[in-house]
């Protein structure tokens, strides 16, 4: 069982930056690939970024590539999402997720993750 708690969301102007954190409980955090997803009002939850168990591999949605960076600190049971050059279309509730049932190549679907946080709101004003 893994419990996830996101933090760091807020209101920021377009072009600004935010860093989201996701703190995980449990001693097996390093066994899980971690992902960030987001969901805007009226839209489906969409993949943003993923990081492998060790942190050696990362993968991004095209919409955030070059602007967002995912990282993890296994010693702290924490995964981060550094967001820069934010745009109004980045406005959404951001969720972190943990998965280990499927391998690293299965990383962009909500079905690839077992545990989810409660989400943190990110609002980007124009």
Phi then psi dihedrals of residue 84, to 5 deg: -125, 165
* Per-residue model confidence as pLDDT tens digits over 57-100: 999 999 999 999 999 999 999 999 999 999 999 999 999 999 98
> Cα 78 from chain centroid?
11
Do you know the residue count of the chain? Answer: 126
Per the CB < 8 A criterion, the answer to whether 94 and 40 are in contact is no
Q: How many angstroms separate the Cα of 117 from the Cα of each of 35, 48, 51, 62, 87?
A: 11, 15, 16, 23, 23
* Per-residue model confidence as pLDDT tens digits over 37-68: 999 999 999 999 999 999 999 999 999 999 99
Q: Which residue has the tokens 């377009």?
A: 14
């Amino acid at each position: 069982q893994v419990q996830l708690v996101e933090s760091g969301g807020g209101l920021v102007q377009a072009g600004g930056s935010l860093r989201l954190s996701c703190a995980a409980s449990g001693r097996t955090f390093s066994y899980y690939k971690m992902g960030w997803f987001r969901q805007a009002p009226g839209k489906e939850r969409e993949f943003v970024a993923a990081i492998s168990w060790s942190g050696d591999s990362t993968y991004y949605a095209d919409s955030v590539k070059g602007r967002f960076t995912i990282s993890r600190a296994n010693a702290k049971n924490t995964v981060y999402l550094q967001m820069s050059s934010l745009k109004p279309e980045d406005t959404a509730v951001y969720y972190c997720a943990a998965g280990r049932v499927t391998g690293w190549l299965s990383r962009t679907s909500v079905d690839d993750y077992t545990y989810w946080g409660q989400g943190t709101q990110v609002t980007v004003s124009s």
